[in-house]
């Protein structure tokens, strides 16, 4: 049997043709984004646009879909492209290894993708990306907080405006309203209370104020706990949602003209 023979049974020949023709943009290839992207490769999506500037680090190996010692030090986008082509040699991937600050959202968002997946974990960049996606009125789904959680069964897909118990989702709602964004869109979110982050090993908690800011060296990013379950399952849910949207609306596999 060939790679997609069982997929054909599941979605039909016409369904797989729609998946093969579809172009999906993935923003961020961390624990969530890598799982989402690889699932879409395995289900048969034929065209990808991926944005990620980061390198695979040893600390990623506990949750990254393609995280292995052999990939440490390599750009995540390049590793994804390698693994994707090892599954489907015919897949087309446009890779952008660039830092996404959020200020360049208009330049980063892909004009050719029919569906988009926001898997960014930096709040400011995420807000700018979501604002731009809403402005363009394209089809997309976004990931809310997955760090510090152990229970994938607490994940769900729903409206951003109906989320509760997720600190990241709350911050997203507040900031989008502040920018005048009221459009509705689906998100993957969890109501599991996250484990609190800790200060980096180089600084003790006593050296930081309540906002996680060091008094001498400036703002320090706290370290989040993580595991393989919740981030990867969130990515699986996002990939499933995108797949079902493509199958239900094959005319939408390309962006609005």
pLDDT tens-digit profile of 47-58?
A: 999 999 999 999
At residue 126's C-alpha, the angle toward residues 175 and 41, to 5°, is 145
pTM for the structure as a whole: 0.90
How far is 220 from 217, CA to CA, in rounded Å?
A: 8
Is the distance from CB of 243 to CB of 43 less than 8 angstroms?
yes
User: Quick check: 100 pLDDT over 90?
Assistant: no
> In angstroms, rounded to a whole number, what is the distance separating the alpha carbons of residues 84 and 124?
29
Cα dist from 121 to 18, 30, 174, 190, 216, whole Å: 30, 8, 16, 15, 26
Among the ranges given (1-5, 102-106, 229-233, 238-242), the one the predictor scored with the smallest mean pLDDT: 102-106
Whole-angstrom distance, CA of residue 46 vs CA of residue 187? 24
Instruction: Kindly report, residue by residue over 166-191, the tens digit of the pLDDT.
Output: 999 999 999 999 999 999 999 999 99
Would you kindly state where each structural domain of the chain is located, as residue ranges? 5-194+227-252, 196-225
Query: In this model, does residue 252 exceed pLDDT 80?
Result: no
Query: Contact 191/153 with Cβ under 8 angstroms?
Result: no
Helix (H) or strand (E) holding 21: helix 5-21
For 29, phi then psi, to 5°, come to -120, 45
Q: Dihedrals φ, ψ of 118, to 5°?
A: -85, 110
CATH number corresponding to 5-194+227-252: 3.40.50.720
């Amino acid at each position: 049997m060939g790679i997609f023979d069982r997929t054909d049974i599941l979605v039909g020949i016409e369904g797989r043709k729609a998946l093969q023709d579809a172009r999906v943009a993935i923003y961020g290839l961390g624990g969530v984004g890598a799982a989402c992207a690889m699932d879409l490769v395995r289900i048969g999506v034929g065209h990808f646009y991926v944005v990620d500037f980061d390198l695979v680090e040893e600390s990623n190996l506990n949750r990254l879909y393609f995280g292995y010692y052999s990939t440490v030090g390599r750009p995540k986008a390049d590793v994804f492209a390698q693994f994707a082509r090892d599954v489907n040699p015919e897949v087309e991937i446009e890779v952008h290894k660039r830092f996404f600050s959020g200020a360049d959202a208009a330049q980063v968002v892909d004009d050719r993708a029919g569906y988009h997946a926001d898997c960014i974990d930096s709040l400011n960049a995420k807000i700018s990306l979501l604002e731009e996606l809403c402005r363009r009125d394209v089809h997309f789904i976004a990931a809310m907080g997955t760090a510090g959680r152990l229970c994938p069964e607490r994940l769900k897909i729903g409206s951003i405006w109906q989320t509760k118990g997720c600190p990241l989702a709350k911050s997203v709602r507040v900031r989008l309203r502040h920018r005048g964004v009221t459009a509705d869109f689906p998100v993957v979110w969890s109501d599991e209370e996250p484990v609190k982050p800790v200060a980096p090993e180089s600084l003790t908690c006593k050296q930081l104020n309540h906002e996680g800011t060091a008094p001498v060296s400036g703002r320090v990013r706290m370290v989040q706990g993580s595991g393989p379950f919740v981030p990867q399952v969130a990515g699986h849910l996002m990939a499933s949602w995108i797949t079902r949207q493509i199958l239900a609306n094959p005319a939408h596999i390309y962006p609005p003209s």
